[in-house]
Structure formats: structure tokens, C-alpha cells
Amino acid sequence: LGLNIVYRILTKYRGQISVESNEGEGTTFHVRFPVEPDPITSGD
């Protein structure tokens, strides 16, 4: 259930996930999202 929700969020916001796993040391998940500048306002 947890990774399903993460996958939906990543898909919606064009994110990426990667996994590093070392036996006896554990697993690390890296979650990345694109950074987008704030939209320019017209000042109207």
C-alpha cells in the first residue's frame, strides 16, 4: 500500500525514485521531484 501511494504521487508530479540496498546494512530510497520556477504573473 505504501509504495503504491508513493508511485501515484511520483507519477503525478513527474518524480523519480531509486533504491540502494546493501546486505546487512539496509535499504535507502531516494525520491526526487523536478524543481520548477514560480509562474510569471502579468501584473494586471
* Residue 20 CB contacts under 8 Å (≥ 6 apart), including other chains: 27, 28, 30
Give the span between the Cα atoms of 15 and 11, in whole angstroms.
Answer: 6
| H-assigned helices in 1-44 | 2-12
**SS3 (DSSP) at 21:** strand
* pTM score, whole prediction: 0.60
pLDDT of residue 11: 92
Residue 42 pLDDT more than 80? no
The whole-number average pLDDT for the span 11-29 is 94
Exposed / middle / buried, residue 34 (Cβ in 10 Å: 0-12, 13-18, 19+): exposed
Residue 1 pLDDT more than 70? no
Are residues 41 and 35 in contact, defined by beta-carbon separation less than 8 angstroms?
no
pLDDT of residue 9: 93
